[in-house]
Amino acid sequence: MIIAGLVGGLALFLYGMSVMSGGLTKLSGGTLEKILSGVTQNRLVAYLFGVGVTALVQSSSTSTVMVVGFVNSGIMGLNQAVNIILGANLGTTANAWLLSLNAIDSAGSAWLSLFRPSTFTPFLAFIGIVLYMAGKTDRKKNFGTILLGFSVLMTGMQTMSGAVAPLSDNATFTHVLTTFANPVIGFLVGIFFTMIIQSSAATIGILMALAASVFVSMGAAIPIVIGAEVGTCITAILSSLGAGKNGKRAALMHLYFNILKAVSFMTVFYTLNAFFHFHFLEEKAGMVAVAGIHTLVNLAATLLMLPFSELLVSLALRSIPIDAKEKEEHASQMSLRAMDDRFLTNPTFALEQARTAACVMADYSRECLEAALELIMSYTPEGKEEVVRLENRIDRYEDEIGSYLVKINATELDLRTSHALSVILHSIGDFERISDHARNIAETMAEMEERELKFTDKAYEELATFTAAVREITGMSVEAFTKNDLTRARDIEPLEEVIDSLNMEIKKRHIRRLRKGKCSVELGPMLTDVATDCERVADHCSNIAVAVLQVREDGFDAHEYLEIMRNESNPEFERRIEYYETRYALPETKKIKEKKEK
C-alpha cells in the first residue's frame, strides 16, 4: 500500500503540475512567448525575465524548451538565451516554496491553519471546476484549469507524504535514506530519478514529502537536490534533437551550466566539510530547508555565472562549431538587419540598405537555380535539400525587403529615388519567382529519381544546351541588377527570345521521339515541366532587365517596353539574336548548319 500511495501521489503531483503549467501558459495568450522573444541584449534584464517567466509557468523545463525553440528559429541569439536560461534555473525554485506551505504547523492557531494546503485546496478545486465547466470565456476556463492543477498537485504532495508516514519507524528504510548522505550516491540518485520523470520539481517534491514524514538528513537532501538540477536538463536535450545546431547549442548551455554548478558546489562544499565537519548535515531537513537549499544554490550559482555567461556560449560553440554554411547564414541575416527602421528618416540611405539586401538575394537566386539545374544531370538528395534551403531563405528576403520598401515609400521621395525603389520592388519579386521555378525543377527531378525514370541521351544533350543558356541569362540578369549594368541588361532580351525558341523546339523533338517509340509517354510531363520552368526563369530575367533599363523613364511598363523593342526595326537586336542562336543551337541543328557551310 505504501508503494501504491507513493506512486499514485506522484502521478497526481506530475499531472497537477502539467495541468497548472499548461493553464498558466494558455492564460498568458502568447504573452510569455512575446516577452521572451523580445528580450534585449542586457544580461540582467534577460536574467530577470527568465526568473519571472519560469516562476509563472512553474517549470524551468517549459521555459527552457521555449528558449530552445526561439534560438532554433533565429528569433533569439545564444547570447540572449544563455541569460534567460540562468534566470530559469532560479525561477523554478518558486515551486518548492509553494510546496513548503505543507510544512505550516497550525496547532493551536486557527489563522495558521488557513494557510495549510489541506485547508484551502478543496475550496480552490471547487472554484476551479465551476470556472472550468461554467465559464463562458477561455480566460475563465484557463483560470479554472490553473486552480484545478494546483489543487491536484497539492493533493498529490499530501498523498505522497501520507504514504511514506508509516516508514518513519522502519529501520530498513531509514538505513536506505542514510546511504543518500553519501554525496556521490545522493547526487546520482537525484540525476537518474529526475531524468526518468523529467522534472526536477517532482524530484524535489518527493524529497519534501519524505522530509515531512520521515527523517531525511540535510546530508542526504543536499546532493539529491543538486543532482536533480543536472537531471532536469534531459527535457531540453530531448527537445533539441529535432532542432538545428543553434537549438542544440541552447540545450547544451543549460546542461553545461548545471554541470558546472553541481561540480563547483559539490567540490567546494564537501572540501570545506572535510576540514570543518558541518554538524548541520546530520540534522533533519524539513520542507522549508529543502526549498531553501534549492533556492540558495541556484541564486548563488546564477549570480556568479551571470557576468561570465559568454563562457557557456563559448563551450556550446566549441561542442558544435560553426561551419561554412552557418557563417553564410549569419552573413545573410546581417544584410537583413541592416534594414533598420531608424534609417527611414533618410530615405535615400534606407533605400541603399534595401538595395544591398536585394543584391544578396539576387545572388542567392542564381545559386538556387544553379543547384537545381545540376540535379537534371546528376540528382542527389543533398542537392535538393540545398535548393529548398535557398528557396526558403529567398522567400524570407522578399518578405523583409518588400516590407521595408513599403515603409520607405511612405516617406517623401524624389522622382529618381521613387524609380529606384520601383526597380528593387519589381526585381525582388522576379528573383523570388526564379527560386520558385528552381524548386519546381528540383521536385520534378526528385520524382523522376523516386520512379527510377531517366531521359533519353538525346534529351539530356538538348537539356545541357538549354540549361547553359538559362544559366547565362540568369547570370546576366543578376549582374545587370547588382551593378546597374545597362549593357548587360540590353543583352538579356535577345537571349530570352532564343530560350523561348529552344523551349518549343525541345518539346517538338520529344514528340517526334515519342512517335518513333524512342521515348516513353510518362517522361513527357517531366520534360515539359523542366523546360517550362527554365523558360519562365528566362521570362523573369527579362522583367529584371526591363526594370533596370526603365529606371530613367518616368513610368514602369515592362510589357509596353518589350513590345516597342521587338516591333521596331532594331538591327543590333536582331544581330544579338543570331549570335545566341548560333551559340545555343541544339546538337542536330549544329550538324545541319555545319553541312550547309561545307
Is 1.20.120.550 the CATH classification of the domain at 326-597? Answer: no
* Ramachandran sector of residue 530 (left: φ over 0; alpha: ψ -120 to 50; beta: rest): alpha
598: pLDDT strictly greater than 80: no
Domain boundaries, the chain: 2-319, 326-597
C-alpha cell belonging to residue 411: 516617406
- Is pLDDT above 90 for 18? no
Share of the chain above pLDDT 90, in %: 42
- What pLDDT was estimated at residue 596? 45
The confidence score (pLDDT) of residue 210 equals 87
Judge whether residue 33 has pLDDT over 60.
Answer: no
Q: What's residue 121's pLDDT?
A: 87
Amino acid letter, residue 417: T
Q: Locate 435 and state its grid cell.
A: 527560386
Is the pLDDT at 477 greater than 70? The verdict is yes
Residues constituting the chain: 598
Q: How far apart are the first and last CA of the chain?
A: 104
Does the pLDDT at position 517 exceed 70? yes
Measured on CA atoms in the order 176, 179, 180, 186, is the torsion positive or negative?
negative
pLDDT reported for residue 394 = 93
Looking at residue 560, what is its pLDDT? 55
- Give residue-wise pLDDT tens across range 174-195: 677 778 889 999 999 999 999 9
> What value does the mean pLDDT of the chain take?
85
Work out the burial of residue 314: count CB atoms within 10 Å of its CB; fewer than 13 is exposed, 13-18 middle, 19 or more buried.
Answer: middle
Give the tens place of pLDDT for each residue, 390-447. Answer: 999 999 999 999 999 999 999 888 777 888 898 999 999 999 999 999 999 999 999 9
- Is residue 73 pLDDT above 60, yes or no? no
- Note every long-range contact of 558-566, with CB atoms under 8 Å and residues 24 or more positions apart, other chains counting: 558/426, 562/493, 565/493, 566/493, 566/497
What's the confidence (pLDDT) of residue 554? 46
289-331 per-position pLDDT tens digit? 999 999 999 999 999 999 999 999 999 999 999 877 676 666 6
Q: What's the predicted TM-score (pTM) here?
A: 0.60
pLDDT tens, residue by residue, 141-164 = 988 998 898 889 888 888 887 887
Strand partners, 217: 284
DSSP 95-145: HHHHHGGGG---TT-HHHHTTSHHHHHHHHHHHHHHHHHH-SSHHHHHHHH
Task: Please give, one letter per residue, the 3-state secondary structure of 194-217.
Answer: HHHHCCHHHHHHHHHHHHHHCCCE
